[in-house]
Structure 1
Amino acid sequence: MLRELPAPVRWLSLPAVLAACAAAVLWPGDYQPPTTAPVPAADAVGPCLALMKQLPQQIEGHPRTDPSAYVAVWASSPRTVLRCGVPRPASLDTHGSELGPNVDGVQWYMEGDGHGGNKFTLTLHQLYVEVAVPEGATPYPADPLAPVSPAVLATIPDLSGELNNPSD
């Protein structure tokens, strides 16, 4: 069947198919951060549950849903996902000295998600909270951190065990 096509069409068919396959695999627009619930350590359960109660109901106009007790999701596509009680990111071992954004007194570690978006992990506190912001979810990658940071300060103890409630 391929032999019946003109030579230029035969020559270009394989590269065209390969380009289409590569575009389908590498296209970042359909990536959604996972909403898998972490299993927080026993001493993280209370602060995580308190954080979930304090989180805003909307971010950038996107409504919030909670698929589990430790996960909050804003919007549907692309979605911003907060997960409380996640394990320490392995990349902190090699890139921990790199500065991420400090938003309203909360220090975040920033790394790419491999799909054009960013993943922010709370640092300098007794447990890890992750905020995944896929490409296109908000105008600026760190936008969701501003409405989340006051809740973090009020509910997640810092390394000395203190809460830094912004309303105090």
Structure 2
Amino acid sequence: MNLSRHRHRTVFGLPALVLLITMAGCSSADDSASTVVPSPGAKAAKLCRNLDQVLPSKVDGESRHDPGPASALTAGWGGPAIILRCGVTQPPKMIDPKVPVGADPDAVAGGVDGVQWLMEKRDGGGNRFTTANRLVYVEVTVPEGADNSGALIDLAPAVKKAIPVGIAD
């Protein structure tokens, strides 16, 4: 009788062990990106969902692999990932009247294919770009070594199509 109880534990333990090994293979050791999901108002969230529907499958030659947690407000391509977040708050460097954009060497304004961007250098490398003069702020982070212009050129048509020109709330 002890033997059959032991077999039951062994049979029950084997699937649990397989599950544990499988989960360990998918743990944080992989290159999955994660990001903070913005929390815009209803109007901005609707525009962001529209943007998500027209985003390209490839950016700078990299395939789309969205970061976690899953959201229509975020998207990602490649690894290290180019990350897009829609509905972010206005960057402080766009707000502070004491710091004109041209006066800060780490913040540069420019346009790519009809979309205006504020570029900020990120601590640890890479750049952050935030749309200007659109009804919703869209942020794109490009890791060090990736092609900034390639990413923005690939994303500009979707931004132009889904996020109208205007002043964000």
Q: Which runs of 5+ in 2 are unaligned?
A: 1-31, 103-107
Deviations along 1:142-168, one digit per CA (max 9) or x if unpaired, are 32000100111111011179xxxxxxx
Secondary structure in 2 matching 1:91: helix
Whole-angstrom distance in 2 between the partners of 1:144 and 1:93: 25
Aligned partner of 2:37 in structure 1 is 37
Percent of matched pairs sharing the same residue? 39
Whole-angstrom distance in 2 between the partners of 1:146 and 1:107: 12
Q: Does 1:143 align with 2:150?
A: yes
Aligned partner of 1:133 in structure 2 is 142
Length, aligned pairs only: 127
Whole-angstrom distance in 2 between the partners of 1:84 and 1:153: 13
Specify the structure having the higher radius of gyration (Cα).
2
Whole-angstrom distance in 1 between the partners of 2:153 and 2:33: 19
What's the RMSD between the two structures over aligned residues?
Answer: 2.1
Contact 1:119 1:133 in 2 (8 A): yes
Whole-angstrom distance in 1 between the partners of 2:41 and 2:33: 22
Aligned partner of 1:86 in structure 2 is 88
Equivalent residues in 2 for 1:17-56 (5 A)?
35-56=35-56
Aligned partner of 2:133 in structure 1 is 124
Deviations along 1:80-139, one digit per CA (max 9) or x if unpaired, are 000000011112224453342310011000001111210000001111000000102x2x
Contact 1:124 1:159 in 2 (8 A): yes
AA aligned to 2:165 is D
Secondary structure in 2 matching 1:40: coil
Q: Which runs of 5+ in 1 are unaligned?
A: 1-31, 162-168
Contact 1:34 1:81 in 2 (8 A): no
Give 1:61 deviation, angstroms. 2.2
TM (norm. structure 1) is 0.69
Secondary structure in 1 matching 2:65: strand
Whole-angstrom distance in 1 between the partners of 2:45 and 2:78: 25
Whole-angstrom distance in 2 between the partners of 1:160 and 1:86: 14
Instruction: Write out the 4+ residue segments of structure 1 that deviate beyond 4 Å after TM superposition.
Output: none
Q: Does 1:153 align with 2:157?
A: no
TM (norm. structure 2) is 0.68
Aligned partner of 1:97 in structure 2 is 101
AA aligned to 1:144 is A
Whole-angstrom distance in 1 between the partners of 2:58 and 2:115: 20
Secondary structure in 1 matching 2:164: coil
